Amino acid sequence: MREVVLVYLDRSGGLQKFVHDCKKYNDSKQSYAVYRFIISINPSDIAELDATLGNYILHNPLQAAQIFQSVCFIAIKTLSLIEQLQTEAQISILLKPTHLPPLPSYVLSLSAYPFNYTSQRFYMSEGIVIAMGTVTKYTQGARFLCTEETCPFSEGRFRCIRVHCPGATESATVRTDFVCSLCSSPLQEDMKFRVLGDKQIVEMIDAKILNALKGYSIDKSHFRIQAFTLFLR
């Protein structure tokens, strides 16, 4: 599947954009614990190249991102795109699909019962924004060092890093109770390598509320409308 990913990136122009993004990181004087890349993907085009990979992206996007992560790391090392990069774990890949299959199973509807949305895959959702919060910062990645001086993980390498994953809370990335996996000593964050991003909280309501605003319902049964919260990162 790594070969298919490389072929797709080359054909779609994603590889050229990736090289351009790497150049911006390489020319920057700022030190990064995590290098974040947004890769636009067309699920239909990928499915034509390899059906297994296309299905994997649609239904296991977090695991599919790891395949892209591996390909991008090899490309960076082979072409010497980012001199400061040390480990593959420092690369954070966000897959951004251009569209999803027009099928009911890919539509997130919080008005339908039961709510069978336990899988961490892509969904489409349509609604009306009724409130928006201010744009604030969140931690995309951070580096930690072991507080035990004799531990190899106390050195200035990127062996203990935390990267934000979709659906995770802030405390999953930055906390004060992380311990070293080698010696169990407390870990301390190296603040100069913290990578920040923007986030915004949005309140949405299902588009079916329009029927209620018209003064009538599609059926005569009672119904209730409840807003839901989205985190835009």
DSSP 69-105: HHHHHHHHHHHT--TT---GGGEEEEEEES---SSGG
- pTM of the complete model: 0.85
The DSSP call for residue 159 is S
For CATH 3.30.1640, the residue range(s) in the chain are 1-99
Does the structure show a pLDDT above 90 at 185?
yes
Domain 1-99, what fold? mini-chromosome maintenance (MCM) complex, chain A, domain 1 (3.30.1640)
Does the structure show a pLDDT above 80 at 218?
no
Decide if 232 contacts 94 (C-beta within 8 A): no
Average pLDDT over residues 29-41: 90
- At residue 107 the predicted structure's pLDDT band, cuts being 50, 70 and 90, is confident
Does the structure show a pLDDT above 80 at 220?
no
Q: Quick one: 52 exposed, middle or buried, by C-beta within 10 A (0-12, 13-18, 19+)? A: exposed
Q: What are the pLDDT digits (tens) for 134-167? A: 999 999 999 999 999 999 999 878 889 999 988 8
CA angle (159, 87, 8) in 5-degree steps: 145
Side-chain half-sphere CA neighbours of 87 within 13 A: 13
Report the SS3 class of residue 171: helix
- Confidence (pLDDT) at 32: 87
